[in-house]
Amino acid sequence: MKIEKVNQSRCDKDNWRDTEFGSVFSDHMFIVNYKNGQWQEGQIKPYGAINILPSLHSLHYGQAIFEGMKAYKGPKDETFLFRPDQNAKRFNKSAVRMCMPEIPEDLFLEGLFELLKLDEKWIPHGESSALYIRPFMFASSNFIKANPSDEYTFIIITCPVQAYYKGEVHVKVELDYTRASSGGTGAAKAAGNYGASFFPAKKAQEEGFQQLIWTDGNNHQFIEESGTMNIFFRRNDELITPPLSDSILPGITRDSLIKLADHIGIPCKEEKIGLEKIALGHRLGNITEAFGAGTAATVASINSITYKDQKLSFEDKSDSFARKLKTELQNLQYGRSEDPFGWRVTV
């Protein structure tokens, strides 16, 4: 792998803690091109502009996918990744769905490890701080015919981040727009899924909500996800979460929480979650917690869900399942507890 280093790091100059999530980027990026049916030699170079032409295929047809992961600093200044193989695998599933070439897992991980070693000083210490990692791939041929591209570019960029949500989280159930439909691309991390979600999400924000709860594309009767997170509810002394389908992104945090919950003795069932049942359960006092789960926000307790004209409020209790699971998960990610699952990877 070719490595071209920056002459001078920007690390000390950037006061990134006062900036928006994901707006300050570390010194280097990893880049590798796919052409003539094969992946070329990868290289690390200074973060910077990439040369593109107006005929760039992905700008027209949207063959573009990405991943979201984090590197964490441990108590002895170690650098940890959390289940990075799962991100590489999901990336390739997204690639297949979007008719793009899979990237060898070794190439993905080797590029990532080298990049992290080089930009290690960008990984912030501190509770809920981490280096957010954004691997992505886009169609990089230059033609405008609605056929799959021949050439692709894979890049990894990283940015230091703090907690995603800093205040309360109030969400609205979306009953008109759909994030993903059956047979669509919802289970892939395809860029277009996010582009299509911005308009309804913006409308919800204008109404004072932080996020939306996405419902099924057929009848809007079942809960699917919350914004860019998977969703869990506490029903009495158990957790429930919607089962995976082709319209739900298979979150790595979701999978980890299901396994962690089981490990600490909280039963968790994967079942279809009807909106009316949640509203009734909330009225009866059986549904007492709701939270989102994802890499960016880890575990985010939901303070209220507005469904039609009902506002279901949730008390943020100190012994909530959400807090318990968040602590367990972060202890694993930041290297503060034993890892019986083998999920933590030292860089």
Ligand X SMILES: Cc1ncc(COP(=O)(O)O)c(C=O)c1O
Q: Which residues bind ligand X (CB under 6 A)?
A: 68, 225, 228-230, 249, 251-254, 294-295
Nearer to ligand X, 57 or 254 (CB): 254
Least distance in angstroms from the C-beta of 246 to ligand X? 13
Nearer to ligand X, 88 or 229 (CB): 229
Least distance in angstroms from the C-beta of 284 to ligand X? 29
Least distance in angstroms from the C-beta of 37 to ligand X? 30
Number of CB atoms found within 10 A of residue 13's CB: 8
CA 17 to CA 19: how far, in whole Å?
A: 6
Least distance in angstroms from the C-beta of 236 to ligand X? 25
Q: Which of 311, 317, 316, 340 is nearest to 328 (CA)?
A: 340
Nearer to ligand X, 79 or 228 (CB): 228
Least distance in angstroms from the C-beta of 76 to ligand X? 26
3-state per-residue secondary structure call for 69-106? EEEEECCCCCEEEECHHHHHHHHHHHHHHCCCCCCCHH
Could you tell me how far CA 287 lies from the centroid of its own chain? 26
Query: Which pairing describes strands 2-3 and 43-46: parallel, antiparallel, or unpaired?
Result: parallel
Nearer to ligand X, 101 or 251 (CB): 251
Nearer to ligand X, 141 or 210 (CB): 210
How is residue 130 annotated by DSSP? E
Tell me the β-bridge partners of 35: 38
Nearer to ligand X, 159 or 249 (CB): 249
Query: Nearest 5 degrees, angle CA 83-CA 250-CA 269?
Result: 100
Least distance in angstroms from the C-beta of 178 to ligand X? 13
Report the half-sphere exposure of 89 (CA within 13 A, side-chain side). 7
Torsion-angle region of 222 (φ positive above 0: left; ψ -120 to 50: alpha; else: beta): beta
Nearer to ligand X, 28 or 90 (CB): 90
Query: Which pairing describes strands 268-270 and 238-241: parallel, antiparallel, or unpaired?
Result: parallel
Nearer to ligand X, 205 or 286 (CB): 205
- Are the CB atoms for 225 and 245 separated by under 8 Å? no
Least distance in angstroms from the C-beta of 259 to ligand X? 13
- Are the CB atoms for 119 and 32 separated by under 8 Å? no
Of how many residues is the chain composed?
A: 347
Task: Name the residue type at position 63.
Answer: Q
Least distance in angstroms from the C-beta of 256 to ligand X? 8
Q: Which of 260, 293, 214 is nearest to 301 (CA)?
A: 293
